[in-house]
A and B are shown apart, each in its own frame.
Chain A
Amino acid sequence: MQQQLAKSAFPKWALVLGVLPAVFLQVTMGLIPSITTFILSFTDISGVAGVPWKFIGLDNYKEFFFQQSSRDLITVLKNTVIFCVGVTVIQNVIALFISLALNSKMVKGRGFFRAVIFLPVVLGVLVTSLVWLNTLNPLEGPVAKFIALFGLSSGFFTSTNSALACVIFTQVWMAMGYSMVINLAGLQSISNDLYEAAEIDGTTVYQKFKYITLPLLWPTINVNIMLAIIGSLQSFQVILFTTGGRNIATQTLSARVVYYAFNINAGSGIAAMRQGYGATWAMVLFVFIFIATLIYQRAVKRRDELT
């Protein structure tokens, strides 16, 4: 990385002038707000212009840990863990199989299948959520009718028992294509010579997978898992548009941040946008993400040491 500073063909003032807009925006709209979240978590600032606000010390944190219903807090933390682990594991396991299948020359029409699976990534979260709300309509929706054939029924997004599972499913459906294309890029960088050599040695499909594909694809899968962990902890959009803010059964930390700070879907009950308290939730989420990535990195390191 140690490179000599290159002699510029252009005047330095022009280069600096060109860099300025992006840097200015990044600092004022990116870095300063990120750090200010910490400061705001000690205030009672609201989201309404002109309302006076003050520093209230640790009151928000006290409220977070001791004053809110501990049952709600535990539910939210539990949901956050289930959502994160559920999405990360399901998405990566299925994406691995999909990318192996759609990388194999045995399969005709691979391009079309890839395109279909990637489509929800570009359709976006609102369209995805509404499409699945429609499909998983508990009253006479197609899936409801289908499982009724087996004598089953479910409230899907509306029932406490199944809502979280439905939210996880929708999130995975939406983001699967993303993991798939990253995996495919990784698979394409594995040299064909290795497989040919293995074939001459008469290895089975499973052996090829275990001794060639998996070890060589591991760095890519690792990136995918990290992206899924961080992404799922930050994402609240599917939850917001499918089950809303009122149903505690699907609330995660990130969903609570917008619930308190912006009252989206919170119903008409709460009038004030409690952005100071919302910032406290954002800080807890930040610590949560930090710990989750740390635990994952540790686990990977230990695994690497073992092998």
Chain B
Amino acid sequence: MKKNIPLKIIIYVFIAILMVIYLFPLFYAFNTSIRTKLEYMSNPTAIAKSFHWENYVQAFKKANLSAYIGNSVFYTVVCTTTSILMAIFLAFPISRNYLKFGPVLLGLFMIGMFLPDGTIPQFQILLKLGLYNTRLGYMIGGGGTPLLMFYVYIKGIPKEFDEAASLDGCGYFRYIFKILIPLMKPAVASMAIVTAISVWNDIIRAIIYLSNKELYPITRGLYVFQGQYQVDMTQQMAALIMVASPIIILYIFLQRYIVDGIVAGAVKS
């Protein structure tokens, strides 16, 4: 394999450049966040000599993050749980071919991407229902329905389980919760994490639907720094690190599930 050495060097140089482009901005954001405003103003790019956590405290207060964290956790848990459950109850009969109109239902969920964007009428409907600026209005439609991964996964679970359970007198809903969901653990974990991340990261719906500060999720708190005339970068980056770190920690431990879930979401198109 001697002749491959130049190629190997090219590949490593390529990867090294990529790593700089991907890691440097994150490192720089962290560096900015731990410096005092004065230090930053005198020389923005210098490496921090000592850790100043004051920015975190101030950003925490200024962006009111403590209140928003609770909201974000609430939205994430509720949206993720409901969309996962709805998707499983939808995917099971279609995947098993138990319903005459199953293929129609599948089409109903697949056709969405070939239609115009419905954000504006969706807003109008929620406005008419008086759900603008409410938790419920913000959460409706926030999670999506991750149907396809479950649809495929359930096909791999033998039908004999259904029959055995029903012969033993196990009802449908109990069957789903006690037998099917435990059998689908990897798929449920993947889709739950992916859904949770997308709800946690949502900002557009938060801007469109919420005007009451008490209802803001954490991303909306980060967004308050935006649009101010004199943005205090050190505080903004401190807030950003606080918003991003739960996701980064989750990502480090659950990377496998996250990647699987996102690939499954992509292949559906």
Q: Which residues of A have CB within 8 Å of B115?
A: 31, 34-35, 286
Q: Which residues of A have CB within 8 Å of B201?
A: 122-127
Which of B93, B123, B237 contacts A18 (CB under 8 A)?
A: B93
Q: Which residues of A have CB within 8 Å of B45?
A: 140-142, 145
Give A4 to B248 CA distance when docked, in angstroms: 47
Cβ of B24 to closest chain A Cβ, rounded Å: 7
Cβ contact within 8 Å between B93 and A19? yes
Q: Which residues of B have CB within 8 Å of A98?
A: 18
Interface string of B62-105 (1 = CB under 8 A from A): 00000000000000000000000011011011101111100101
Cβ of B231 to closest chain A Cβ, rounded Å: 9
Instruction: Of the listed stretches A85-93, A160-168, A256-264, name the one at the interface; the rest are far from the partner chain.
Output: A256-264
Cβ contact within 8 Å between B123 and A126? no
Give A18 to B29 CA distance when docked, in angstroms: 46
Report if A26 contacts B (CB, 8 A): yes
Interface string of B229-265 (1 = CB under 8 A from A): 0000100110010011001101100010011001100
Q: Which residues of B have CB within 8 Å of A14?
A: 171-173
Give A15 to B91 CA distance when docked, in angstroms: 10
Report if A181 contacts B (CB, 8 A): yes
Cβ contact within 8 Å between B93 and A141? no
A to B contact number (C-beta, < 8 Å): 280
Cβ contact within 8 Å between A141 and B11? no
Report if B153 contacts A (CB, 8 A): no
Besides A18-B173, A119-B248, A135-B29, 16 new A-B residue pairs in contact (Cβ under 8 A), listed by A number: A5-B100, A8-B93, A16-B99, A23-B90, A26-B112, A32-B118, A33-B122, A104-B11, A130-B225, A130-B226, A131-B25, A132-B25, A134-B28, A227-B266, A258-B204, A275-B123
Q: Which residues of B have CB within 8 Å of A154?
A: none
Cβ contact within 8 Å between B44 and A123? no
Restricting to A240-263, which residues have a CB under 8 Å from any CB of B?
241, 244, 254, 257-258, 261-262
Contact status of A122 and B25, CB under 8 A, knowing A31-B115, A40-B120, A134-B233 = no
Which of A31, A264, A275 contacts B112 (CB under 8 A)?
A: A31
Give 8 closest A-B pairs by Cβ, nearest first. A33-B118, A124-B201, A18-B89, A34-B115, A36-B121, A33-B121, A14-B172, A286-B116
Restricting to B162-204, which residues have a CB under 8 Å from any CB of A?
162-163, 165-166, 171-173, 175-176, 197, 200-201, 203-204
Please count how many residues in chain B sit with their CB below 8 Å of the partner chain's CB atoms: 99
Cβ contact within 8 Å between A286 and B117? yes
Give A14 to B173 CA distance when docked, in angstroms: 8
Instruction: Of the listed stretches A62-70, A109-117, A210-218, name the one at the interface; the rest are far from the partner chain.
Output: A109-117
Report if B157 contacts A (CB, 8 A): no
Cβ contact within 8 Å between A126 and B18? no
Restricting to A18-39, which residues have a CB under 8 Å from any CB of B?
18-19, 21-23, 25-38
| Residues of A participating in the B interface, judged by any CB pair closer than 8 Å | 1, 3-6, 8-12, 14-16, 18-19, 21-23, 25-38, 40, 45, 47, 49, 97-98, 101-102, 104, 106-107, 113, 115-127, 130-132, 134-135, 137, 139-142, 145, 173, 178, 181-182, 185, 205, 223, 226-227, 230, 234, 237, 241, 244, 254, 257-258, 261-262, 264-265, 275, 278-279, 282-283, 285-286
Q: Which residues of B have CB within 8 Å of A126?
A: 201, 203, 219, 222-223, 243
Report if B156 contacts A (CB, 8 A): no
Which of B14, B128, B262 contacts A178 (CB under 8 A)?
A: B262
Give A106 to B86 CA distance when docked, in angstroms: 44
Report if B228 contacts A (CB, 8 A): no
Residue of A nearest to B122 (CB): A33
Q: Which residues of B have CB within 8 Å of A139?
A: 44
Q: Which residues of B have CB within 8 Å of A125?
A: 201, 203
Cβ of B210 to closest chain A Cβ, rounded Å: 12
Cβ contact within 8 Å between B269 and A34? no
Interface hub of B90, B118, B125, B258 (most chain A Cβ within 10 A): B118
Give A241 to B90 CA distance when docked, in angstroms: 36
Give A38 to B255 CA distance when docked, in angstroms: 41
Q: Which residues of B have CB within 8 Å of A118?
A: 255, 259
